[in-house]
Amino acid sequence: MNKVISASQKATREQTKEHNKRFILKMIYERDPISRADLARLTKLTRASISNVVSALLEEDMVSEVGLAKKSVGKPPTLLSFNKDARQLITLDLASDMFRGSLMNLRGEVLERVKISLGGRRGPAAVEQVIALIEQLQERATQPLLGIGIGTPGVVEPYQGVVKSAINLNWTELPLRDLLQERFSLPVYLANDAQLAALAQFLFSSNKDGIQNLILVKVGRGIGAGIIFGGEIFFGDGFSAGEIGHVVVDPNGKLCTCGHNGCLETMASTRALAEQMSQIAASNPSSRLHQMVRDGETLTSNAILQAHLDRDFTVQPVIERSGRFLGGAMAHIVGAMNIRHIYIAGSMARFGDALLEPIRQEVFRRSYPALINQIEIKISELGADIVLLGAAALVLNFELGIV
C-alpha cells in the first residue's frame, strides 16, 4: 500500500524523493527519538540527504528537535521526534447499529469519541448520521485534519471509495468517498470493517515480528474475515475476500436469508448465540439467564457474557459450538493458504479462551499435522477500537506512508 511506484508506470525523480521522504518519516515514527546520523545509518542514505529531507519535515511541523543525546565521544546528536499531534484524523466504525467515531492523533490515540445510534435508519438517512458524526468531530479538532477513515460493513470498493452493498444499511453502489470528500474537502478512505480490523492488527501489533500474512476473523452480529497478504489487505476479485459469513458449515442447519442452510453466520454469530441461549435458558432454571428469558427480554451478548463471567455453566457449551463451527470454516483457508497467524476479534472475542479453545481444537484437528505447531490462533488484543485503528491506519498509510 505504501507503493509510490507501480510496476506498470514510469519511474521519476519525484517518486524517488517522495519514497525517501516517506521512508525517513516512517523511520522517525518507528524509532522516535532518533538522530539524523542514526537515520543515515539506518536508511543507507547520506547524512546530507537526511538533513535535506528533515528540514522539509521540520518545516511542515511533522517532526521536532527535542534535545541532544549523550554519547561517548564526538558531537552529541540532535534527537528528532515524530510530532504525533501535528495533525489529527477522523475515524468511523459503521459496523454495528451504533455508529462510532473518534478524533485521533497521528499515533492512533483517541482524543475524542462520539456515538450515534442508528435507530433503524437506513439508506440516505444513515448517510446523514455519518455526516453528523464527522461534523461533531470536525468541530472538536484542534489541529489541521489529515483525513477521514471509515470502516463500513458489506462489500466496499476501496479504490473508488464506493460501498457496493451493505445490506443492513441498505446501501448499494453508494459513492460515499466522493460524497464526503466534496462535503468536507478532506481526503476520505474507506474499506470493509473486518478488512480494516485485520490491517490494524497487522500495523499496530503483528508487524513488529516481521509477519507479513495474517487472517483476522471478526465475530459479532455478522461474521467476516480480513486478510493481510504481503503486508497489504487482500481484497479479492470482487472486493469481498474474507466474506465467510455465508460459508456452509452445517448443511442441515438453519435456513439463512442467503438461501443456503447452516451458513456460518446463522450458526456462530452473536445472533445465533442469543437464539440458542434463549432456548437453553428457557428450559433450564439453573441458568442465570432463565429469569431474563422468562421476562420476555431478548438476550444481548452483553448479558450472555456477564452470565458467562459469573460462571453460568449453560453458556460454555453454546460458545464451544460456535467455536467449532468457526474453526471448521477457518481450517480450510488457513491450511490451503499456509497462514500461521490467526486472530479473533469482534464482540464475540470477549469470551476469550472459552471461544478460542474450541476454535483451536477444530483447526488443529483438520490441519496437516506437520503444520499444526506453527499455527498461532489468538484473541486480538486491540479490543473494541480495532476498526477505528484500522481506519486510522488507512489514512496514515496513504497520506504519510507511515505505520
Partner DNA sequence: TTGAATTTGTTTTTTTAATTAACTAACATA
Partner DNA sequence: TATGTTAGTTAATTAAAAAAACAAATTCAA
Binding site for a second copy (CB under 8 A): 2-5, 7-13, 15-16, 19-20, 23, 43-45, 211-213, 225, 227, 229-232, 234-244, 246-248, 258-260, 329, 332-333, 335-341, 366, 368-371, 374
Smallest distance, a second copy to C-beta of residue 245, A? 9
What part of residues 219-238 is at the interface with DNA (CB under 7 A)?
none
Total number of residues binding DNA (CB under 7 A)?
A: 33
The CB density around residue 159, as the number of other CB atoms within 10 Å, is: 9
Compare residues 76 and 236 and give the one whose CB is closer to a second copy.
236
Report the phi/psi class of residue 346: left, alpha or beta, with left for phi > 0 and alpha for psi in -120 to 50: left
* One character per residue 7-26, x = contact with DNA (rule: CB under 7 A): ---xxxxx-xx--x------
Compare residues 27 and 163 and give the one whose CB is closer to DNA.
27
Q: Which of DNA, a second copy, none has residue 257 at its interface (CB below 5 to 8 Å by kind)?
A: none
List, in sequence order, every residue forming a beta bridge with 162; answer none if it has no partner: 157
Compare residues 55 and 283 and give the one whose CB is closer to DNA.
55
Smallest distance, DNA to C-beta of residue 28, A? 12
C-alpha cell belonging to residue 400: 504519510
Torsion sign, CA atoms 18, 20, 21, 25: positive
Measure the CA–CA gap between 366 and 343, rounded to whole angstroms.
18
Compare residues 311 and 368 and give the one whose CB is closer to a second copy.
368
Smallest distance, DNA to C-beta of residue 56, A? 10
Q: Which of DNA, a second copy, none has residue 239 at its interface (CB below 5 to 8 Å by kind)?
A: a second copy
The SS3 assignment for 64 reads: strand
The span of 32-40, 95-103, 185-193, 322-330 binding DNA (CB under 7 A) equals: 32-40
Smallest distance, a second copy to C-beta of residue 382, A? 21
Smallest distance, a second copy to C-beta of residue 119, A? 28
DSSP string, 162-197: EEEEETTTTEEEE-HHHHHHHHH-S-EEEEEHHHHH
Smallest distance, DNA to C-beta of residue 48, A? 3
User: 295 CB contacts (<8 Å, ≥6 apart)?
Assistant: none
Residue 192 touches DNA, criterion: CB under 7 A: no
Distances in Å between the Cα of 291 and the Cα atoms of 273, 286, 296, 297 are 17, 10, 9, 9
Measure the CA–CA gap between 125 and 253, rounded to whole angstroms.
35
* One character per residue 53-82, x = contact with DNA (rule: CB under 7 A): xxx------------x-xxxxxxxxx----
Compare residues 77 and 335 and give the one whose CB is closer to DNA.
77
Measure the CA–CA gap between 133 and 99, rounded to whole angstroms.
8
Q: Which of DNA, a second copy, none has residue 230 at its interface (CB below 5 to 8 Å by kind)?
A: a second copy
List, in sequence order, every residue forming a beta bridge with 207; answer none if it has no partner: none
The answer to whether residues 131 and 188 touch, using CB atoms and an 8 Å cutoff, is no
Torsion sign, CA atoms 139, 143, 148, 149: negative
Judged by the rule CB under 7 A, the positions of this chain that interact with DNA are 10-14, 16-17, 20, 35-38, 44-49, 51-55, 68, 70-78
